Amino acid sequence: VYKVENEIITNIDIEKESRYLVALNNQLKNLSEKKILEIAKDSILKETVKRIELNKYFNLDQKNPFLEKVIEDFYIKLQMNNRNEFEDYLKNYNLSIKEVKKKIEIETTWNQLIYDKYNDQITVDNEKLKKKLKNKKASQKRKLYSLLEIVFQKEQEESLNDKINKIEESIKEIGFENTANIYSISDSSKFGGKIGWIEEKNLSNKLSKKLIEIEIGQYTKPILIGSTYLILKLEDIKVEKVEIDEKNELNKMILFEKDRQLKQFSKIYFSKVKINTDISEL
């Protein structure tokens, strides 16, 4: 189907990728087989581009204890209790834990590459975060949003309105999660755009204001973030009483902000790599 540099992507690779994606997000079963394969085709192409780039800097397929923690996070996100249960689940899709582990390794190593390249460019306004924390401490409560996301870029040959209309029509027809699988360029797309519970204090004022404008079950209009656009769906809201450990909370806020910036750098870097990668459709 594709030739990426000197590597070939076959229909078998795409079919296996489709099983992997459905295993991570069962909502995909509601789509036609043709549409699932289109999503898988784009996903495996992205993974191959990343792997080729990573091979320039890392030796993959090495033992890495950190991967076991990531696998644990995977099956917890899928609401499973242990690794054995996860392995049995994967067998239903004719997948092995070894195959999944290779995919996870590519994603985690890619994140490491982005960190190595851009960590020095990350800027965090600690004083601004401390001010946020002070306001939060005064209330002794925290507000959390359960969110899904679609992150997209406008293609050069199409208008922004056309892109937005396509996404909104898709949401109406097949739902937000399946649309995230198709259109979102974020890593969360594999999980239907799910990013889980996020504290309000970790969101920018811009995003907080947009979420205040919508109700549970609704989604925002596209929000310009850097060179990409973001649509957020509000799944639920909860407010919790908290005992605040200032040092611990500040560290969490700093890590969240660094992670947000690294994700932006990741999108930029991948776009550059893809442009410079020899890709031909066979």
pLDDT in tens, 162-197: 999 999 999 999 999 999 999 999 989 989 999 999
Looking at residue 158, what is its pLDDT?
Answer: 83
Cα–Cα distance for residue pair 240/143, rounded to 1 Å = 7
Which helix (H) or strand (E) segment holds residue 59: the answer is none
Which DSSP category does 197 fall into? E
Token pair in block for residue 74:
């995977």
Token pair in block for residue 213:
């404008």
Distance of CA 229 to the CA centre of its chain: 14
Looking at residue 61, what is its pLDDT?
Answer: 78
Q: List the chain residues with pLDDT less than 50.
A: none
Which DSSP category does 222 fall into? P
pTM here is 0.71
Which DSSP category does 6 fall into? T
Picking from 226, 227, 171, the residue whose alpha carbon sits closest to that of residue 204 is 226
269-278 long-range contacts (CB < 8 A, ≥24 apart) are 269/114, 269/117, 269/118, 270/46, 270/49, 270/50, 271/153, 273/49, 273/50, 273/53, 274/49, 277/4, 277/5, 277/49, 277/52, 277/53, 278/3, 278/4, 278/5
Looking at residue 54, what is its pLDDT?
Answer: 96
Looking at residue 138, what is its pLDDT?
Answer: 62
Looking at residue 52, what is its pLDDT?
Answer: 95
Burial (CB < 10 A; 0-12, 13-18, 19+), residue 42, is: middle
Cα–Cα distance for residue pair 174/131, rounded to 1 Å = 42
Task: Please report where in the chains the tokens 């656009």 appear, as a residue.
Answer: 229
